[in-house]
Structure 1
Amino acid sequence: MTPLKEQTCRIMIVDRSEVARSIISHILQKEMHNAYIVTCGSAEEALEYLHREKFDLITTSLLLPGLDGLDLCHEIRKSEKQHLTPVIVVSSDADRRLLREGFSAGVTDYFNKSLGYKRLVEFIKDVSQRHSGLVGRVLYVEDSLSTAQGTQTLMEKHGLYITHVTSAEEALTLLKNTRNNPDNARENEGFDIVFVDFFLEGQMTGGDLLYAIRTQLHCSRQEMPVLVITIEDNRDCQAEIFHAGANDFITKPVIEEVLIARVKSLLLIKHQYNVLKRYSRDIYKLETTDSLTGTHNKKFLLEEGKTFIAQNPNVCMMMVDIDDFEKINEVQGHIIGDHVLHLLGHFLASSFPEQAIVARFVGKKFTVLLSDCTLDKGKALAENLRQKTIALKPEGLNITISIGLTSSEGTTKPKLASLISDADSALHTAHEQGNNRTCLYVSHQID
């Protein structure tokens, strides 16, 4: 199941000058890391490639040996595979023939070569983004098998991945399963858009499915764009379609260019939603990661720790502190001290399972929140950690740690604040007893 994601952009450059091809290709590779580039010295060579491969964008000089750029564009528009591919014609000026015949030949745009190669690359990038390839998964709901077969073939020809079902009930089940399955919870899996016939036969119509997507699944128009197909093109029908929650609609019979334009527009909406979602996650990760040590920070512990405890009945909390860390800063300097913290943070993060919450609590103190962990198991883990820290020797320095340990055992409704306070109290006792040890907080008594 191929997702909507950043896809390799396949670009063809046609220019009679080998130097020009090399320069454009080199700059493009630097500017577009996802670009796959093919260069050709003639229209004839280009057409040989186009018979074998599909490209997302073609740029060609107007003047070529043999067939020229406009002749090449004519041939591209005749191609079943490439006839919607954007074509940029590059010329030293917009001569009359280019202006007169270019757009009738199917030229998407033209570029003035005198502006230079870097400007050309920027232009190619812009056109590529505006005409980005159709990459995504479509849930297609159509009860007419004959209609579905032709439309599905048409969409697949443009690189879309289609899952066809004949009823709204089946479509809703698929959407629910995709939404509820943890393996499909990531943005890179599941369906990117829904394409549904508004007047389906059966208990649920296309309108009912659309309403369920918006109200039962709580998917916004950005999270799950929906394109509706209908046989009626009147204002009342259009109002009903949009009121039900559709992003857009088309009417039967399907016109290829119209359908692909609508789908492309909705895939862009979905792509933008995914980008914003990723951006939000990245921002949250920055906000909740300690920049020095790479562990989570106190904000993350306080925000996520409560949910962690609620979902895991038996948890252990460690409060870890570097012994006599102030002396390292005084003798070795703060840069060395920061490096010691950095190394210890990475060491702690790598010492526990991924689901554990390892966080820099404050200064030289770290917390470790472990799930499915009894106090005895926690003590064994803490002692193992303490011994390994002795052998760590960051920056060639001998360091030790003290650990305060507590557990939620015997507590009906453990609270994060109480676990932190108890672990800190146990840590205080460890320091009082001479450092380099683990102390346990049990039933308000410290062992």
Structure 2
Amino acid sequence: MSKEEQRVLLIDHSGTSLAIISKLICENIPNVKVDAAMNAAEAFHLLRRNKYALITTSRNLPDIDCHTLVNTIRIELFVKSTPLIILSGEKMGIFEEQMICDLVNGYFDKKLGQQKLVNYINSFLNTNPPIATISGNLLYVEDSATVALATKNLLEKHDYRYLHAKDAEQALQHLQHSFTRENSQPFDLLLTDIQLEGHMTGSDLIREIRHGLGLGYEQLPILVTTSSNYDTDPDGPNRIFSSGANDIIEKPVRESMLVARLNNLLMLRQQYLQIHQSTNQLKMNG
């Protein structure tokens, strides 16, 4: 395997689906090697032998349920920082499943089409910078003036709309206020540092959003920035995901990686809005 080549593991009980997705990746994303597993046993064998840049899985496997699969990968096999996404053809109801959200980086509805699937996978692999950003309103939380200035310059460069909060308490006030005005929510995504000054840490803020405000992973996606050293603190990613984060990006933040991860989560938010609009329309017509 060449130095630039990245490995992707596809897990799906359908051989046809594996063949289609593997072909899409190989034809559209450079320097990627694809391994395929039709069940959990094959996947675990490959994960013990190889290091992957991305893992994708379907929700239905013949020998294990999705919850156990993800927990085994993250905890028993200690694959903590590798992005893991679920690919599903079941559009309605996918975002209501919260059983494994703390260990999964994203979901993709295959009905959105092959090109969007390629773009979604490519954004995790970061083989090239995103062509265009997905619009959305961001709530950005960072207490370091230097870091905040650099990140805000990147956000403005890519035309993201954002509001900057200097601590978790201020961010929580903005979110709480957003629900007092005709039950509206002006924020599509939260970008926050995990280590914040004040009474609340980034993890405290995330837990309050998930459990106090009741905002789910797709309703308000959360991207965490961290300078933690995973070599000295290998359980760090698991704690962050367990608090309710969708994804993690390490500092210093690379521009292309930041835009790719923001696009991922804003796409997740857009899928959520599309589903709810369709559901509301069905209720009105019914």
> TM tier, shorter chain?
0.5 to 0.7
Work out which of the residue numbers 195, 218, 221 in structure 1 matches 2:217: 221
Report what 2:193 is aligned to: 197
Report what 2:255 is aligned to: 256
TM-score computed with the length of structure 2 as normaliser? 0.53
**Is the contact made by 2:133 and 2:259 (CA closer than 8 Å) also made in structure 1?**
no
% identical equivalent positions: 35
Q: AA paired with 1:268? A: M
- List 4+ stretches of structure 1 deviating above 6 A: none
- Deviation string for 1:93-138 (max 9, x for gaps)? xxxxxx9xxx79xxxxxxxxxxxxxxxxxxxx94699466320111
Report what 1:149 is aligned to: 149
Report what 2:80 is aligned to: none
- Deviation string for 1:26-85 (max 9, x for gaps)? xxxxxxxxxxxxxxxxxxxxxxxxxxxxxxxxxxxxxxxxxxxxxxxxxxxxxxxxxxxx
Report what 1:244 is aligned to: 243
SS at match of 1:272: helix
- Deviation string for 1:114-164 (max 9, x for gaps)? xxxxxxxxxxx9469946632011100000011001101101211211110
Work out which of the residue numbers 185, 202, 209 in structure 2 matches 1:206: 202
Report what 2:171 is aligned to: 171
Q: In structure 1, list runs of 5 or more residues that go unmatched.
A: 1-98, 105-124, 288-447
Q: In structure 2, list runs of 5 or more residues that go unmatched.
A: 1-26, 32-113, 120-130
Report what 1:159 is aligned to: 159
Give me the whole-angstrom Cα distance separating, in 1, the residues matched to 2:255 and 2:132. Answer: 17
Higher relative contact order (CA 8 A, sep 6+): 2
Structure-2 change in CA distance of 1:172 and 1:281 (3 Å)? same
SS at match of 1:180: coil
Structure-2 change in CA distance of 1:257 and 1:281 (3 Å)? same
Indicate yes or no: 2:265 matched with 1:266. yes
**Count of residues in Structure 1 that have an aligned counterpart in Structure 2:** 164
Residue 241 of structure 1, CA deviation: 0.2
Give me the whole-angstrom Cα distance separating, in 2, the residues matched to 1:159 and 1:257. Answer: 14
SS at match of 2:276: helix
Residue 258 of structure 1, CA deviation: 1.1
**Is the contact made by 2:189 and 2:266 (CA closer than 8 Å) also made in structure 1?**
yes
SS at match of 1:196: strand
Matches within 5 A, 1:109-188: 126=115, 130=119, 133-182=133-182, 185=184
Residue 220 of structure 1, CA deviation: 0.5
TM-score computed with the length of structure 1 as normaliser? 0.35
Q: AA paired with 1:171? A: A
CA RMSD of aligned residues (A): 2.6
- Deviation string for 1:163-197 (max 9, x for gaps)? 10101000000001102211x62xxx500000011
- Deviation string for 1:317-376 (max 9, x for gaps)? xxxxxxxxxxxxxxxxxxxxxxxxxxxxxxxxxxxxxxxxxxxxxxxxxxxxxxxxxxxx
Report what 2:68 is aligned to: none
Give me the whole-angstrom Cα distance separating, in 2, the residues matched to 1:221 and 1:258. Answer: 20
Give me the whole-angstrom Cα distance separating, in 1, the residues matched to 2:283 and 2:236. Answer: 43
**Is the contact made by 1:233 and 1:251 (CA closer than 8 Å) also made in structure 2?**
no
Structure-2 change in CA distance of 1:214 and 1:128 (3 Å)? closer
Larger Rg: 1
